[in-house]
A = this chain, B = another copy of it.
Amino acid sequence: MVTDGLRSPAHDDGAAPAEETAVPAEPGSARWWTERALVDRRRRPRAGGLSTERIVETALEILREEGLEALTVRSVAERLGTSNASLYRHIASRDELIALIADHVMGDIRLDRTGRGWRADVEALMLEMRRVILSQPLPPSAGRSKSGSGSGPNMLRLVEFALALYREAGLTDRQAVYTTITMIEFVGGSTNIRRSPAGRGSNGVAGAADLRQLLDGLPADDFPALRTAGNLYTAASADDVFTHGMTLFLDGVASQLPSNQ
């Protein structure tokens, strides 16, 4: 399954004189970011013309104002006052656009030390990550879910910051790497589900009544634990769950520090 992304079932192996490009890099992957940096260098933008930057910012506007479904190549072009075909001079596909947006947004994450030790630093970082990811309107994992994700400049900057944090806290290089990746996955996972239908910043409480009703309709004897814990389950806010999960994570990290052994 090498020609992923192509629609035609016909492969053209050997037809082209093999210009080293072989398989096109998947948007968001390490190779894609590498190749993109090279291509970007030989651009000759015109006065008042398009640019990747302008495209991404316009796309982000649409995303925030109208949601993911409204974000089409055509809608971006329209808002920019050009034809949709013009965008393909700067991005090769809609997937590329989304990969660019995903990393662009991560640039909003503030990377600050609190001065109150590693645990406070990590906690602040995780809350900040969550804040920014949730400020992204709709595609909970649109960009992040792609394979090889996390290779964009802003994600690398985040990884660098986190690695240093964990190393200074006392973890080994190996532990720091694994813990950093785990942290990123965990925060991402916490924003994937249990967001209320309304979207944005709501806490899941909105759907509590609906969930309550669903549980009430269940066969009484088949879900004893869910029955007794019912109210807690339906009313659990996403923020509280995140705080709890973060505590578990931090406790786990703490138990690996040399000072703890």
Contacts and interface: CB of A to CB of B under 8 A. Distances in A.
Interface in A129-152: 140-141, 144-151
Interface stretch (A104-112, A113-121, A173-181): A173-181
A77 interface: no
Contact of A192 (B141, B197, B229): B141
A170 interface: no
Interface in A158-203: 159-160, 163-164, 167, 173-179, 181-182, 184-190, 192-199
A207 B29 contact: yes
Contacts of A78: none
**Interface extent on A, as a size class?**
35 or more
A66 to B, nearest CB: 9
Given A144-B193, A182-B245, A252-B247, A34 B218 contact: no
A28 to B, nearest CB: 10
Interface stretch (A42-50, A80-88, A236-244): A236-244
How many copies of the polypeptide does the oligomer hold? 2
A253 B248 contact: yes
B163 A197 contact: no
A190 B185 contact: yes
A187 B185 CA distance: 9
A248 B156 contact: no
Contact of A141 (B141, B195, B210): B141
Contact of A232 (B173, B187, B196): B173
A131 B140 CA distance: 22
A91 interface: no
B30 A163 contact: no
Contact of A148 (B188, B196, B255): B196
Contact of A177 (B148, B218, B236): B236
Contact of A214 (B30, B174, B177, B190): B30
A29 B210 contact: yes
A14 interface: no
Interface of A: 1, 4, 25-26, 29-31, 33-34, 37, 67, 140-141, 144-151, 156, 159-160, 163-164, 167, 173-179, 181-182, 184-190, 192-199, 204, 207, 210-211, 213-214, 217-218, 222-226, 228-229, 232-233, 236, 240-241, 244-245, 247-253, 255-256
11 contacts: A29-B197, A31-B210, A145-B193, A148-B195, A156-B223, A160-B224, A160-B225, A185-B189, A185-B194, A186-B245, A252-B252
